[in-house]
Amino acid sequence: MIENYLDIHPEVEKALVNNLPVVALESTIISHGMPYPQNKETALHVEQIVRDNGAVPATIALIGGKIKVGLTENEIDYLAKSGSKIVKASRRDLPFLLSQKIDGATTVASTMIAAELAGIRVFATGGIGGVHRGASQSFDISADLQELANTNVAVVCAGIKAILDLGLTLEYLETFGVPVIGYQTEELPAFYTRKSGFKVNNKLDSASEIADLLKTKWDLKLKGGVIIANPIPKDKQLDFEVMKNAIDKALIQEKELGIKGKDSTPFLLGKVKELTDGLSLDANIALVYNNAKLAAQIAQELK
């Protein structure tokens, strides 16, 4: 019985019962995204942005054998201080971690699962996972993509993480019928920058239009999520060539060190941060704030 595993914060539960807008938020960015106390401050500020834009935040994590939907400040502080000691939890990890009462920080995939179980339809994150470069040999493809194909949650993000193969990720999403909607843009944003060279499927210019698309999709019983690609603000983006050069160098070092699988994304993001003297982290924080605002606006229109 799902009630044995789901622990919804009273504020979130009240909002859901009263059909008020709620936005799901992941916890990997807290435990694996940046150092303490910056990670805590960022998480609390994201929640405040959601509130300021008329929705209730629901940060999600696994704590004490429960899927917590909506965290207390003490729980956020615990995740932030524990850092990488907290296990990254994707779909495959949920049964083991919950049954063994091991705490976990939710990825895009597991946050989507928890959000759907709780009845939350909008989720704000930084960027989604996808097809890794060299996947034709490694078969390294993020579980985020299958979750997007099967779970009815809209994901507001700044596109696909730029360290990945954007073209192959778009092809994968097309195969599984996942719409990629550009918010006020026809070009897919590439996480740290607004530029990628790839097109989105459709451009929509308002939160109400996006909400109408989501209602239509799910009214038609077309299962799966939708990517709402929200470009990073112009004044916060990295220079495209600076980003590209940093990623290229990080990929070379990853190959030299033999880093693969689950460790790949954290290593690459950390290396890009180092190579850009922290500018990539500043951009990451700015885009998360921007996505939280849009997600709250969409949730308002979707209620």
Q: Residue 144 is which amino acid?
A: D
Tokens of 169: 């990720």
CB atoms within 10 A of CB 255: 12
DSSP 262: G
Q: Residue 118 is which amino acid?
A: A
26 catalytic residue (yes or no): yes
Distance CA 38, CA 288 (A): 14
Tokens of 284: 């990451």
Q: What are phi and psi of 285, to 5 degrees?
A: -65, -45
Q: Residue 290 is which amino acid?
A: N
Residues 135 and 167: beta-carbon distance below 8 Å: no
SS3 (DSSP) at 301: helix
Distance CA 168, CA 298 (A): 28
Catalytic residue among 40, 68, 88, 161: 161
Residues 251 and 268: beta-carbon distance below 8 Å: yes
**Residue given tokens 């500020």 in the structure block:** 45
Distance CA 231, CA 208 (A): 18
217 catalytic residue (yes or no): no
Catalytic residue among 13, 26, 116, 254: 26
**Judging by beta carbons within 10 Å of its beta carbon (0-12, 13-18, 19+), is residue 252 exposed, middle or buried?**
exposed
Active site residues: 26, 161
